[in-house]
Amino acid sequence: MNAQPVATVTASAASAKPIEGRGTWALAWSRLRRDKVAMISLVVILLIVVVAIAAPLVAHVTGHPPNEQYRDIGLSPEGLPRAPNSTFWLGTDDLGRDILVRIAYGARVSLLVGVVATGLTVVVGVLVGLAAGYVGGWLDTVLARVVDVVLSVPFLLVAIALVSVTGPSMTVTVLVIGFFSWASVARIVRGQVLSIREREYVEAARSLGAGSVRIMFVDVLPNVLAPVIVYTTLLVPVVIVTQATLSFLGLGLPPPTADWGGMISSAQNYYTTAWWFVVFPGAALLITTLAFNLFGDGVRDAFDPRLEQQLRR
Amino acid sequence: MARFLIRRILQGIVVLWLITVAVFGLFFVVPNDVARTLAGRQATPETIALIQHRLGLDQPVWKQYLDFVWRALHGDLGYDYYHQVPVTHIIAQALPITLSLAIGASIIWLVLGVFNGVLSATHPRSLEDRGLTAFSLFFYSMPPFLLGILLLYVFYYQLTLRGVTWFPAGGYVPFAQDPTAWFQHMVLPWITLALLLAATYTRLTRASMLDVLGEDYIRTARSKGITERRVIYRHGLRAALTPVVTQFGIDLGQLVGGAVVTETVFSLPGLGNTAVDAITRQDLPVIIGIVLVASAAVVIANIVVDVAYAALDPRVRLH
């Protein structure tokens, strides 16, 4: 009685494609690809990247270099910014510069700092977390205290103080953000490593004569990457906002470099008279962070579908 | 429990000590020309040397550090370079403003975040859930200064144009001086901070609540015939709140030094704003004092959270 359905299943499975073992990555990617919101966000992110790369093209099409001050046609007779018009599509700023062109150039700063600082954070955090979790002992204790210190320091205050002492530049911004962000990554990685280093396959590798460094990077590291990747995608928008915040407080990039936080900062004094001056750079910043956050959420769900499955139950 | 508490406090002290070393090192290793600034442009080298001597800046860095620690242990954080006001006095003036901001905002974000989170979790995948998720993600992605300016534009500028002068453009009035004015000055900063943070709480409560509602004891409670409302609020929310309380402690601790942007946008002379002023003037004792107080707030908040956790869950103490 029971034999028949089993036979049918075997038969249909044989005629269908043979079942392939798919790794975490393939599974996550296939889930992510079906996530509409995440895919739209990815498209938006790619568009922003294109705008950043094509910033000189934007300047060429409008005919306005990013730092050119049009004090005659770009400012009203009272010296106020011009509203959006056929010459300046998104209006002008307080110095008569084209906001559209400056937004395009500002995208370069946001993306570059976002990606480089996040990369730095993740590399340092992963290395420290691996060392602390795998080596353990006194190294773990020392690193744990250092992590505590970095996480207890009022980040923004110390960052402002540091930048004010060293003078603002892109390198300083990246280093400061990286310096204060690696600790959370290290904490996540350490926790993961602690559980993975006790697994049988690590023991197996050790009994085969693999050295600590090899085990750490070949056996342990690939298995902690999923949470790191999720954290990384969600860290990019945080870094972008932090960079913009430093600029807003006057410690971003030295003028006249166009960057979103700095634009909003100078727009602050004009929010009653020139809404476009706040709204367009603000919208650019918000759309960017929103796209990264939505995409990051999708990545998280793709790697950890537990929550979504629970909902379908 | 007592041993756990003592160990955590000792760890906290070590962390604070390391922070003083780090901050002191950072600021004193980098050459600063505050004596030159103070002396004015026409100053002779002798005048500058005299000022440096008076501020103790001619001493070796390690000696300055030991003096600093010794005085700090006696509750003295030094004097500001410009007006010789005790740093403790400056902090005592700014702290209540930051606390009014943090406490007021925290009430709003907790209520908003937890309520929305529960609503989301009890109606998963519904229109409300999706709407609230979108709403929280929107504010989660919002840069604080942008939200502040937008609120000022709508509630201060647009309303004032229409003759409604409820919201000032910024500044601070002490509660003792005029409670109504205090409230009016605090509302927009509160809303700014609360909207930014409520998002995290909505997401946290939602996730935690969904986990809890899948537990067996919730099914048991439902099968006993208790009303759904009681199941959700008495049985579910109670267990789901633990991670929320943890996050709350950490956020409150961080706000002491972390409300810089909100304080700047609304010109509230709290700790963050005072620190930014001090930074532009290279007023090291004030910067170090505020960084130390803000770090202490984080350390203390972490200890309180850990102890609360250990009290709730005996397993934590073992580690």
Q: How many residues does chain B have?
A: 319
| Residue B219 belongs to a domain | yes
**Distance, CA of B160 to CA of B231 (rounded, Å):** 47
Confirm whether B23 is domain-assigned: no
The confidence band for A63, taking pLDDT boundaries of 50, 70 and 90, is confident
What confidence category does residue B316 fall into, taking pLDDT thresholds of 50, 70 and 90?
A: low
Range(s) of the domain holding residue B51: 33-76
Residues B171 and B54 in one domain: no
Mean pLDDT for B179-207 is: 90
Q: Binning pLDDT at 50, 70 and 90, where does residue A73 land?
A: confident
Query: Are B133 and B275 members of one domain?
Result: yes
SS3 (DSSP) at B99: helix
Does residue B82 lie within any of the structural domains?
no
Name, in order, each residue with C-beta under 8 angstroms of B281's C-beta and a sequence gap of 6 or more. B37, B81, B82
Domain co-membership, B185 together with B226: yes
Choose one of B49, B76, B103: the last residue of a domain: B76
CB of B14 within 8 Å of a chain A CB? The answer is yes
Residue A257 at interface with chain B, using a CB cutoff of 8 Å: no
Check B15 against A149: CB less than 8 A apart.
Answer: yes
pLDDT at position A13, please? Answer: 46
Range A282-287 contact pairs with CB under 8 angstroms and sequence separation of 24 or more: A282/B143, A282/B146, A282/B149, A282/B150, A284/A103, A284/A106, A284/A107, A284/A260, A285/A110, A285/A240, A285/A241, A285/A244, A285/A260, A285/A261, A285/B143, A285/B146, A286/B141, A286/B142, A286/B143, A286/B146, A287/A44, A287/A48
**More confident site: A148 or B315:** A148
Angle between helices B179-213 and B144-151 (to 10 degrees): 130
Chain A contact for B147 (CB, 8 A cutoff): no
Judging contacts by C-beta atoms under 8 Å, the chain A residues touching residue B137 are: 290, 293-294, 297
Work out the minimum CA distance from A75 to partner chain B, whole angstroms: 22
Tell me if residue B205 falls in helix, strand or coil.
Answer: helix
The pLDDT of residue B211 is above 90? no
Q: Is the pLDDT of residue A178 over 70?
A: yes
Interface mutation target, options A143, A157, A194, chain B, most CBs of B under 10 Å: A157
Which residues does A35 contact at the CB level (< 8 Å), separation at least 6? A298, A301, A302
Asked whether residue A17 carries a pLDDT value surpassing 70, the answer given is no
The structural domain count of chain B equals 2
**Cβ neighbours of A145 in B, within 8 Å:** 11, 14-15, 18
pLDDT reading at A53 higher than 90: yes
| pLDDT for res A313 | 38
Amino acid symbol at B224: K
pLDDT at position B280: 82
| Tokens standing for residue B276 | 């930014």
User: What does the pLDDT read at residue A9?
Assistant: 46
Handedness of CA A294, A295, A300, A303 (dihedral sign): positive
Question: Looking at residue A152, what is its pLDDT?
Answer: 82
If asked whether residues B106 and B56 sit together in one domain, one would say no
B6 inside domain: no
From CA B181, how far away is CA B166, in angstroms rounded?
Answer: 9
pLDDT per residue as tens digits for the range B51-80:
777 777 777 778 888 888 888 888 888 888
Verify that B175 and B51 share a domain, yes or no. no
pLDDT of B32: 62
Asked whether the predicted pLDDT for residue A298 surpasses 50, the reply is yes
In 10 A of CB B279, how many CB atoms?
Answer: 23
In this prediction, residue A16 carries a pLDDT of 60
Say if residue B48's pLDDT is above 80.
Answer: no
**Locate tokens 């609230």: which residue?**
B132
Contacts of residue A6, defined as CB under 8 A and 6 or more positions apart, other chains included, come to none
Taking CB atoms and an 8 Å limit, are A158 and B144 in contact across chains? no
pLDDT of residue A292 exceeding 50, the answer is yes
B122, A275 Cβ separation under 8 angstroms: no
Q: What is the mean pLDDT of residues B133-162?
A: 89
* Average pLDDT of span B252-265: 87
pLDDT in the model for residue B134 = 86
Q: What is the mean pLDDT of residues A258-270?
A: 88
Mean pLDDT score of chain B: 84
- In 3-state terms, what secondary structure has residue B84? coil
Contacting residues of A for B144, CB less than 8 Å apart: 241, 245
The answer, for A282 touching chain B at a CB cutoff of 8 Å, is: yes
Residue B229 shares a structural domain with residue B199: yes
CB contact under 8 A, A161 and B153: no
Q: Give the least confident one: A133-147, B224-238, B254-268.
A: B224-238
* Residue B318 belongs to a domain: no
Higher pLDDT pick, A267 / B57 = A267
Helix or strand run (H / E) with residue A173: helix A170-196
- C-beta atoms of B19 and A313 within 8 A: no
What is the spatial distance between Cα B118 and Cα B208, in angstroms, rounded to a whole number?
9
Mean pLDDT of A231-243: 91
- Residue that finishes a domain, picked among B13, B48, B76: B76
pLDDT value at residue B30:
64
Q: How many whole angstroms separate alpha carbon B182 and alpha carbon B97?
A: 10
HSE-up of residue A43 (Cα within 13 Å, Cβ side): 6
Please state, as a whole number, how many other Cβ atoms lie within 10 Å of the Cβ of residue B61.
13
- The pLDDT score that the predictor gives to residue A107 is 93
- Kindly indicate the confidence band of residue A165, based on its pLDDT and cuts at 50, 70 and 90: confident
Which positions in chain A touch B157 (Cβ < 8 Å)?
Answer: 271-272
More confident residue, A45 or A166: A45
Residue B174 sits in the same domain as residue B268? yes
Residue B177: CB atoms within 10 A of its CB come to 9
Q: Are B304 and B124 in contact (CB under 8 A)?
A: no
Q: Do residues B43 and B115 share a domain?
A: no
Mean of per-residue pLDDT scores for chain A: 83
Q: Tell me whether residues B137 and A297 touch, CB distance under 8 A.
A: yes
Residue B291 to residue A161, Cβ atoms within 8 A: yes
User: Which is nearest to A63 in space by CA: A82, A83, A37, A89?
Assistant: A89
Q: Would residue B112 count as lying in a domain?
A: yes
The predicted model scores a pTM of 0.86
Of A97-111, A159-173, A206-220, give the range with the top mean pLDDT: A97-111
Residue B153 pLDDT more than 50?
yes
Give the DSSP H/E element, type plus range, for residue A124. helix A99-135
Question: Are the beta carbons of A292 and A274 closer than 8 angstroms?
Answer: no
Stretch among A168-177, B35-44, B77-86, B115-124 having the lowest mean pLDDT: B35-44
Q: Which of B311, B182, B291 minimizes the C-alpha distance to A161?
A: B291
Q: Which amino acid is at B127?
A: L
Q: Say yes or no for a CB contact (<8 Å) between B18 and A307.
A: no
- Tell me: pLDDT of B317 over 90: no
Contact state of B143 with A244 under an 8 Å Cβ cutoff: yes
Res A223: pLDDT? 82
User: Do B96 and B65 reside in the same domain of the chain?
Assistant: no
Residue B15 lies in a domain: no
Please tell me whether residues B235 and B306 are part of one structural domain: yes
**A146 Cα to chain B: minimum distance (Å):** 8
Both B200 and B91 in a single domain? Answer: yes
Q: Do B65 and B123 sit in the same domain of this protein?
A: no
CA distance B63 to chain A (A): 22
B 168-197 → A contacts, CB under 8 A: none
Cβ distance B104 to B190 under 8 Å?
yes
Res. A43: pLDDT tops 70: yes
What band does A61 get if pLDDT is binned at 50, 70 and 90?
A: confident
CB contact under 8 A, A289 and B210: no
Using a 10 angstrom Cβ sphere, with 0-12 exposed, 13-18 middle and 19 or more buried, the burial of residue B2 is exposed
Domain assignment of residue B236, yes or no: yes
Nearest CA-CA distance, residue A63 and chain B, Å = 29
Domain containing B302 — which CATH number? Answer: 1.10.3720.10
pLDDT in tens, A1-14: 344 444 444 444 44
Confidence at B313, pLDDT banded by 50, 70, 90: low
Question: How many CB pairs lie under 8 A apart between chains A and B?
Answer: 142
Other Cβ atoms less than 10 A from the Cβ of B172: the count is 24
ipTM for the whole complex: 0.84
